[in-house]
Amino acid sequence: MSTEPYLLTPGPLTTSLRTRQSMLRDWGSWDVDFNSITGRIRERLLQIVHGTATHECVPMQGSGTFSVEAAIGTLVPRAGHVLVPQNGAYCQRIARICRVLGRKLTTIDYAENMPVDTADVDRVLRTDASITHVALVHCETSTGILNPLQEVAQVVARHGRGLIVDAMSSFGALEIDARTTPFDAVVAASGKCLEGPPGMGFVVVRREALERCEGNCHSLSLDLYDQWIYMQKTTQWRYTPPTHVVAAFDSAIAQYLEEGGLAARAARYAQNCRTLIGGMSKLGLKSFLPAAIQAPIIVTFFAPDSPRYVFKDFYNAVKARGYILYPGKLTTVETFRVGCMGQLGERGIAGAVEAVGKVLAEMRAAA
């Protein structure tokens, strides 16, 4: 087992040794060699979603939320109106971003175990012509629920509105095809399914939409249009990039392609998810979502039925056995989350299930 615990979290996650070693070199942020890395990353991210002919990839410093805010602030005009179907914490965060930015907001609210209903989106767009954009979370990280991106995208396109997709926990592992799924922007980050370190986000933007965005943004540093124009002219980032993170992300993408790209990454995560849910079920732990709407990225489990269960103690005991879990993010019931992403070693998910089983046995023995 690794001397460091494996991260069974929705990002940051456990990266490969090769990815970590890529951060051992210092780079000049305006140097031609570093700029070529940035260019290669942008090209490959476009290729993953088949968007080379129609879209641009604009990288952005910071966590994924920085890029979500950049996408909304840049693509939605100041007099724009955003519809946010929300069934989890990250949908709610998008709604909060809209409020902070002063963009008009309408929400469709669902329970945390209910996917977005395309018919609801259709109905609201049909009745409110002032809505300019829909912002959809593809895989809601707070639960692992999968929302119907393709169906929603078709409805939004039919109504002639723009679609901004938070694909933070799906990009690179679940199919998103710009040729068949119309969207203005897809937002993701380095430290998720592509298995790089955290610290860099990116937005894949439809070129025609981006070209109309000059002057929209509320922020200088989060202006995707300005970042794009500057990169097109100079190949450089406007402001100091996270050079080590960018270099490591480049390495992680190379390993992603060597593994077999999206098909291989999706298959590995799906197998991890099946092993996790099956193993936890044998331990008496039930997953929060039914299989039909469970994305193979992160799984939410109901807390163990034990008077001795305290998440912090449970967490520390599992960590002592080499695995770091993630707290639940639901407001109604007590849960914890387990990620299916990352480089999980030879034992993989089976080792994590075994560690949880030993902790549960000790809890029950002491009860």
Same domain? For 73 and 215 the reply is yes
Q: Provide, rounded to the nearest whole percent, the portion of the chain with pLDDT above 90.
A: 92
pLDDT score at 170: 97
pLDDT score at 365: 66
> What's the CATH number where 356 sits?
3.90.1150.10
pLDDT at 2 over 70: no
pLDDT averaged over every residue in the chain: 95
Are 74 and 216 a contacting pair, CB within 8 Å? yes
* Residue 332 binned pLDDT confidence (cut-offs 50, 70, 90): confident
Same domain? For 84 and 166 the reply is yes
Nearest to 200 by CA among 149, 154, 247, 159: 247
Residue 75 placed within a domain: yes
Same domain? For 279 and 338 the reply is yes
pLDDT score at 333: 85
Average pLDDT over residues 118-147: 97
- Longest CA–CA separation in the chain, Å: 66
CA 34 to CA 49: how far, in whole Å?
A: 24
Q: Which pLDDT tens digit goes with each residue over 340-352?
A: 999 998 889 999 9
pLDDT score at 21: 98
The 3-state DSSP composition of the chain as helix, strand, coil percent (nearest 5) reads 40, 20, 40
CB atoms inside a 10 Å sphere around CB 192:
29
Domain boundary among 243, 258, 273: 258
> Which tops the pLDDT comparison, 238 or 331?
238
Predicted TM-score (pTM) of the model is 0.96
Same domain? For 235 and 301 the reply is no
Say if strands 145-146 and 139-140 run parallel, antiparallel, or are unpaired.
antiparallel
Same domain? For 195 and 270 the reply is no
In the chain, the number of structural domains is 2
Domain boundary among 224, 258, 292: 258
What sign does the dihedral 8-297-69-206 (CA atoms) show? positive
Residue 212 placed within a domain: yes
Residue 32 placed within a domain: yes
DSSP 210-255: HTT-TT--S-STT-HHHHHHHHHHHSS-SS---HHHHHHHHHHHHH
CA 338 to CA 353: how far, in whole Å?
A: 10
Q: Which pLDDT tens digit goes with each residue over 170-216?
A: 999 999 999 999 999 999 999 999 999 999 999 999 999 999 999 99
* Amino acid identity, position 347: R
Same domain? For 73 and 120 the reply is yes
* Amino acid identity, position 87: N
Residue 1 placed within a domain: no
pLDDT at 112 over 60: yes
Q: Which pLDDT tens digit goes with each residue over 84-99?
A: 999 999 999 999 999 9
pLDDT score at 1: 42
Same domain? For 189 and 216 the reply is yes
pLDDT score at 367: 56
Q: Which pLDDT tens digit goes with each residue over 12-24?
A: 999 999 999 999 9
Residue 61 placed within a domain: yes
Same domain? For 285 and 235 the reply is no
Same domain? For 265 and 343 the reply is yes
Tokens of 147: 């929302």
> What's the CATH number where 64 sits?
3.40.640.10
Same domain? For 247 and 103 the reply is yes
Residue 152 placed within a domain: yes
Q: Which pLDDT tens digit goes with each residue over 251-290?
A: 999 999 999 999 999 999 999 999 999 999 999 999 999 9
Same domain? For 152 and 226 the reply is yes
Residue 151 placed within a domain: yes
Q: For residue 21, what are the β-bridge partners? A: none
Are 334 and 276 a contacting pair, CB within 8 Å? no
Residue 119 placed within a domain: yes
Tokens of 58: 């604009």
Same domain? For 92 and 177 the reply is yes
Q: Which residues are CB-contacts of 222 (< 8 A; sequence separation ≥ 6)?
A: 60, 66, 69, 70, 73, 74
Domain boundary among 258, 278, 294: 258
For residue 26, the 8-state DSSP code is -
pLDDT at 232 over 90: yes
Angstrom distances, CA of residue 265 to CA of 100, 137, 359? 36, 20, 30
Q: Which pLDDT tens digit goes with each residue over 41-87?
A: 999 999 999 999 999 999 999 999 999 999 999 999 999 999 999 99
What range defines the domain where residue 315 resides? 6-11+261-366
